[in-house]
Structure 1
Amino acid sequence: MKTAFQFDFGTGPAVQGYTKVGAEDWYSSERGYGFDVTSELTALDRDEAGELKRDFCIPYGATFRLDLPDGLYRVELWMGDRITETETTVKGPENQMLLHRVKTRAGQFVKHNFSIMVQGGQLKLDFSGLAPRLNAMNVAPTDETAIVFIAGDSTAANQSPDGYPYAGWGQMFSSFLKGDAATVNRARSGRSSKSYIEEKELQRIWDQARSGDYLLIQFGHNDQKQDTKRHTDPSTTYKQYLSEYVEGARNLGMTPVLITSVQRRFFHSDGSLKDTHGAYLDAVRELAAEKNVPLVDLADKSARLYTELGMEGSKSLFMWGAPGEFIHFSEGIQDNTHFQEYGALKIAELVVEGLKELSLQPLTLFFR
């Protein structure tokens, strides 16, 4: 049986019904919860403001772990400080952004919730920010949460902290959702619509999906590659493989959404953007019309964003870094396909914008 947990962070007396967690409550398998020993952590008590608001931990670069049976959970966090402004970012499993730069004024306290799929028997939350706060946490199992699955390539995939600031837009998607929906980002680097199926990645989605869930589908970058493992033809096999995603989702009672490939950053000498996907974009648009599938035209939206930012300004979205700028790319990097975290957030924002424009119910109600 899945159990709910309530944690009160800081050094003051525990609120009734809550488990107190201080700066030295390190995780152990016997306890089943706590912070990593390597975490930078301070616990304080303002001695007023009342109950959950009076004290807190400052989880500066800290990781909190909680052992849980696998499944869907809703997590509620309280954040704030009586005397100063705060800013808190929270990331979850596989480096997924859950809350991005949540800010409070002095004396302001906010409650944010999100839903998350726990796999591997443990919930892991990474905290950062300029002045992070963690006052309280409630974790409870839920079976009333929809799941938004994402199938795609590296432009959408979760990327490791070892490659920071490299990130995919699907990695940022959860930060736009309220607790009514969870993201399961199954996008995988290097995959095409064909290889994703043949490597059983799509089957892993079918194994978890339920009626009422959603499937966002974005490929094309690797379908253009000429190796037989990944290549598809835009007029024939690309459509055929994408149709498997659409029909499989519908058979399970899910809502599929087709997404055209996000644009690469290549400009003509006159400053206009080059379209490097060509017929692959038309194939997705045609398939959406033929099968009456909701469509987010991310190629069009991203093209307009890059054009607005210009040849130089658009570098801020991508993995462009001078020598010494990014610690994991100390020799510098110039990548016109993959995003840094800021760019991944902007592209995720475009996807959310497109989904809102479709007025899909109840998905539209799930966005912050």
Structure 2
Amino acid sequence: MCGASSTAPGGAGEDKEMGKIKMRQRKYGWTMLLLCGVCVSASAQKAIEFTCGKQAKGAISLSAEKRYTAPAESDATGRPAFGFDLVASPDQFAGGACASDHAFFFSVAVPDGNYQVTVVLGSGARSTTTVRAESRRLFVDKRSLAAGASATEVFNVNVRTADIAGGSGVGAKVRLKPREIGALDWDEKLTLEFNGEHPSVRSIAVRPIGDVPTVYMAGDSTMVDQDKEPWAAWGQMLPVFFGPRVVIANEAESGETIRSFTGERRFDKIMSTIKKGDYLIIQFAHNDQKNGSPETTDFQGSLAKYVDAVTAKGAHPILVTAMNRRTFDAEGHITDSLGGYPQATRAFAEERKLPLIDLNAMSKTLYEAMGQDGTIKAFVHYPANTFPGQTTELKDDTHFNSYGAYELARAVVQSMRDQKMPLAAYLKAGIPAFDPAHPDSVATFDLPRSPLFELEKPYGK
């Protein structure tokens, strides 16, 4: 996943970049790194494999005592830092499986790039395992297995740090918000969460890849990978619908406008690695609307800059109209709380002949089908003491819980299929059709909660 080099081959700039590669090899213990400026094919690289049973040839055996510790710059062990992370290790190591009656996390140090992850699930007992990666990106939704059974799941994970490869200025970085510092989406490792009823895994393999399209995402808190419960957004649900021939790189962040996304160098980060054949999904409005109308903020002018830069790279922009807030009138209809932004997005897409996912229209249908009371179950509305340390009511009509985020992601996926977008070719087979006028019942929705909680409201509203 490399962009154009900013240094001449064989020159001092390339020597400098090779020095960076060698330094990161020492840090991460990886034999091949993807560092833009010096591009090495990742498709033939071997995976590093971890097993929960007897050590297989070339694999690393896991134990409860092996906890993740951040690698030092001078680390020369020949393999990356790895181990169980964040919460207690699994407490059952038998029959060639790591298993537990609680959620557990596993991390391995890797540099920026895309990675194919292969997990073999199952144990000697009956298990149902949900797998998330990084900041709660959903990849495997409740895989149930009988005692002694196994199942292999393969998915692709994007890993990033704040560093901008080839960026202008010394130490070019994304300007992270305080809430992002130390977040799993921006740290030096790839983290997996195993959750559910007796979550179980037999082996984990991680391999760098560079031969699949990347779907980048630019947006705000309604799209971001919300890293803590009970908050969720549709972008972090999207990976579960796609197979291993594509990777989702959700770089949305809470509180962003289309201008601040550029000012904080988030767009620069995307442009430093986006390549021909990749995609960029763009959704803004919620925070832009607080700063004025689309005309006063030159919203369409900013869209044009994004689209022009992406298409110049040979990549494909996809526009998304922002979903509605939970604002009902007396007759039970959703009211417009986003000013002219959704229509400005539609008009720009029509003028430039760009693919458009009209999530604003679909969310109106979805919310009205749920009703004013039903939508409470899709947003962050919880009485006091629902979560640890929560002494007051949570009441938010902009941000979703996992159920609401999942339903919106289903609407996005259905729109891709209905319009026969090229990106739809990468969807998993057998995904049921979705009609926003007939949403899934919340009573049938059962995504296990992550053990990580945050009661503070995300930036933006």
Fold match (TM-score > 0.5): yes
Report the RMSD for the aligned CA atoms in angstroms: 2.1
Distance 1:39 1:83, change over 3 A: closer
Amino acid corresponding to residue 114 of structure 2 in structure 1: L
For residues 301 and 329 of structure 1, do their structure 2 counterparts lie closer, same or farther at Cα, with a shift above 3 Å needed? farther
- Alignment partner, residue 128 of structure 1: 195
1:45 maps onto 2:94 in alignment: yes
Q: Name the structure 2 match of 1:52.
A: none
Aligned pairs (5 A) from 1:88-107: 88-107=129-148
2:427 maps to 1:367: yes
Q: Which runs of 5+ in 1 are unaligned?
A: 47-54
Does residue 119 of structure 1 match 2:160?
yes
Alignment of 1:6-25 (within 5 A): 6-10=49-53, 13-25=54-66
Per-residue CA deviation, residues 34-59 of structure 1 (Å, 9 max, x unaligned), is 2138424123434xxxxxxxx20015
CA distance in 2, matches of 1:365, 1:233: 33
- Mapped to 2, the partners of 1:236 and 1:251 lie a distance apart of 24
Cα deviation digits, residues 220-265 of structure 1 (max 9, x gap): 1111113xxxx45258811111111211111111110000111111
CA gap of 1:102–1:67, structure 2 versus 1, over 3 A, is same
Structure-2 residue corresponding to 1:66: 108
CA distance in 1, matches of 2:264, 2:190: 27
The one of 136, 144, 151 equivalent to 2:218 is 151
> Does the aligned pair in 2 maintain the 1:150–1:186 contact within 8 Å?
yes
**Separation in structure 1 between the aligned mates of residue 125 and residue 193 of structure 2, nearest angstrom:** 24
Higher strand share: 1
> What is the CA–CA distance in structure 2 between the aligned matches of 1:16 and 1:320, rounded to whole Å?
50
Distance in 2 separating the partners of 1:118 and 1:37? 18
Asked whether the 8 Å contact 2:98–2:123 carries over to 1, the reply is no
**5+ long unaligned stretches in structure 2:** 1-30, 33-45, 72-76, 162-187, 429-461
- 2:261 is aligned with 1:196: yes
> Matches of 1:178 and 1:328 in 2, distance apart?
38
Q: C-alpha separation between the residues in 1 aligned to 2:87 and 2:304? A: 47
Among 225, 239, 242, the residue aligned to 1:174: 239
- One-letter amino acid of the counterpart of residue 42, structure 1: D
Residue 68 of structure 1 and its aligned partner are, at CA, apart by 2.5
Letter paired with 2:272: D
Q: Pick one of 260, 263, 279 that aligns with 2:321.
A: 260
Question: 1:200/1:328 Cα in 2 relative to 1: closer, same or farther (>3 Å)?
Answer: farther
1:117-149 CA-partner distances (Å, limit 9, x unpaired): 233542221222122010111211111121111
Conservation of the 8 A alpha-carbon contact between 2:284 and 2:321: yes
- 2:379–2:399 contact (8 Å) kept in structure 1: yes
Is 1:280 matched up with 2:321?
A: no
Aligned counterparts of 2:346 and 2:159: Cα–Cα separation in 1: 35
Amino acid at match of 2:396: D
Shift of 1:202: 1.4
Alignment partner of 2:272 out of 204, 207, 228: 207
SS at match of 1:311: helix
Supply the distance in 2 between the matched residues of 1:274 and 1:107 (Cα, whole angstroms).
53
Task: Find the counterpart in structure 2 of residue 35 from structure 1.
Answer: 84
Deviates more, 1:239-248 or 1:22-31: 22-31
Q: 1:204 to 1:312 in 2, by over 3 A?
A: same
User: In structure 1, what is the Cα distance between the partners aligned to 2:106 and 2:205?
Assistant: 13
Find the residue that maps to 2:135 and give its secondary structure.
helix
Pair 235,285 (structure 1): closer, same or farther in 2 beyond 3 Å:
farther
Q: Give yes or no for the alignment of 1:56 onto 2:117.
A: no
Q: Which AA in structure 1 matches 2:226?
A: Q
Find the counterpart in structure 2 of residue 51 from structure 1: none
Contact 1:296-1:354 within 8 A present in 2 as well: yes
The 2-side partners of 1:312 and 1:79 are apart by 38
Q: Once the 2 structures are TM-superposed, how far is the Cα of residue 314 of structure 1 from its aligned partner?
A: 0.9
Q: Aligned equivalents of 2:57 and 2:407: distance in 1?
A: 42
The whole-number CA distance in structure 1 between the counterparts of 2:330 and 2:293 is: 30
CA displacement 1:306-360 (0-9 Å, x = unmatched)? 1111111111110111111233643011111111122112111211221222322
Distance, in Å, in 1 between the alignment partners of 2:337 and 2:362 is 15
Q: CA contact under 8 A between 2:99 and 2:123: conserved in structure 1?
A: no
